[in-house]
Amino acid sequence: MLTPTAVLAGIGLVSGLGLAVAAKVFAVEIDPRQEEINDQLPGANCGGCGYAGCADFSAALVEGKADPGDCPVCDDATLRLLGEIMGVEVGESVRHVALIMCQGGLSVAHREGRYNGHASCASADLIAGGGKLCSYGCLGLADCQAVCAFGAIEMIEDCIARVIPSRCTACGKCVAACPKHLIRLVPANTQIHVLCSNTEKGAAARKACNVSCLGCKKCEKTFEDDPRIIIHDHLAKVDYLKPPTDQAVVEVCPTGALTVRLLDREDRARQPS
């Protein structure tokens, strides 16, 4: 009995020594700055920076593969701390939030059928576009809400998704989840937006939804000398590099597709019908 026990003990001892030597020989030296950076990061692991999580992002930072500003969750104070750790200058970042470019809830968007299947926008989109006459509109089956780790998207009574700006970190997961490509990350300090994605001509767009953009160019003409809204493919689009600031411009829109959203405030008001 003693011999087998001694042999097993010897094998265990040799194996343990071998593992210890291997750990020494193949040890990967970690930059001490990485731990400092991890302590400052929010730990959301949202993937908005393009890396699998905060630990991967901190490793990329110390390797020079990423910049502090690549983290969409960090506020300006945290970004400055990361810059100090890395010994680089970090300018003020412009906070972005997700915005759903559609107001076509059930009360204003017309149907051509009724979807009856798995409660998923991606699934519904595969079956005749989901049932709405507007093939560009929000299907209201909450794929974007399901992927948001921050509770920043809710489904309102009119069966359409709405972003809660104060909770949004601009991680981009909802953008990727929407099969209709309705969600954009826009600067939070902008106030005027075209909440429509329908590129059909005016009559067809209006037939599909009461609040669709008609491509009538009234908003574009308002900024002829200083373009801030451009019509492309029968759809008005705000230039978010120099967005309009005078809220009076929304009055020229005959349908309400051009509207005001105060994204930098805690605005929990329901979207208008």
Residue 154 and residue 161 in contact, taking contact as beta carbons nearer than 8 Å:
yes
Residue 40 and residue 78 in contact, taking contact as beta carbons nearer than 8 Å:
yes
Domain ranges of the chain: 32-93, 96-260
Does the pLDDT of residue 25 top 60, yes or no?
no
State residue 13's pLDDT score.
66
Task: Among 3.30.470.20, 3.40.50.2000, 3.40.50.1820, 3.30.70.20, name the CATH number for the domain at 96-260.
Answer: 3.30.70.20
How confident is the model over 133-192, as pLDDT tens digits? 999 999 999 999 999 989 999 999 899 999 999 999 898 999 999 999 999 999 999 999
State residue 6's pLDDT score.
63
State residue 7's pLDDT score.
58
* Domain 32-93: assigned CATH number: 1.10.15.40
List C-alpha distances in Å: 173 to 2, 123, 168, 250. Answer: 61, 18, 11, 30
State residue 117's pLDDT score.
87
Compute the radius of gyration of the chain from its Cα atoms: 26
Tokens coding 125 = 């989109």
Written as one letter, the residue type at 223 is F
Give, as one character, the DSSP assignment of residue 209. Answer: B
Does the pLDDT of residue 223 top 70, yes or no?
yes
State residue 270's pLDDT score.
39
Q: How confident is residue 265, by pLDDT bands cut at 50, 70 and 90?
A: low
Classify residue 24 as exposed, middle or buried by CB count within 10 Å of its CB (0-12, 13-18, 19+). exposed
How confident is the model over 63-115, as pLDDT tens digits? 888 888 888 878 888 888 888 888 888 877 788 999 999 999 999 999 888 88
- The number of residues making up the chain comes to 273
